Structure 1
Amino acid sequence: MTITDNAPTERFFRSPKHEQLNYEKFRTKASAKLSILDYLAFYNGKRPHSKLGCQTPLEFVRDFDRNAA
């Protein structure tokens, strides 16, 4: 991956738009922010990723840190 490769970033921002934000109407910025934070908690803590061996990002980092120590 090069510095000019923004595909991972584009893919990340596509996920909440496709999976959650398209289905909600927000009355305030605070409610939109809360929804995004809830999605990030789900994305990083509960949603397994095939590229990470079907682990969540948090599990992957935890295992990586354990093996690096």
Structure 2
Amino acid sequence: MESFFSRLKVELIYPKNYRTIEEARSGIFAYIEIFYNRKRRDSANDGMNPVAFEEQAAMAA
């Protein structure tokens, strides 16, 4: 969890200037659901994004 929150702060929170709580919520949601969970490459997955890793695992099964 600490690693996740660190990445969230560095990649999203610090570079942005949110004017409202709703803008922040929307930005955080998009970061987690669109970028972090689907597109961001992960060293634990041999540098693949989660979607590609799951597709490869499904084909191997």
Q: Which TM-score band (shorter chain)?
A: 0.7 to 0.9
Are 1:61 and 2:57 matched, yes or no?
A: no
Between Structure 1 and Structure 2, how many residues are aligned? 59
Q: Runs in 1 of length 4+ with deviation above 3 angstroms? A: 61-64
Shift of 1:34: 1.0
Identity %: 32
Question: How do residues 17-36 of structure 1 correspond to structure 2 at under 5 angstroms?
Answer: 17-36=9-28
Counterpart in 2 of 1:50? 43
Separation of aligned partners in 2, 1:63 and 1:37: 26
Q: What is the RMSD computed on CA atoms of the aligned residues? A: 1.6
TM-score of the superposed pair, with normalisation by structure 1: 0.68
For residues 5-59 of structure 1, what are the alpha-carbon distances to aligned partners after superposition, in whole Å with 9 as ceiling and x for unaligned? xxxx100111010111101121211100111112111112111112111111233
Q: Which runs of 5+ in 1 are unaligned?
A: 1-8
Q: Which runs of 5+ in 2 are unaligned?
A: none
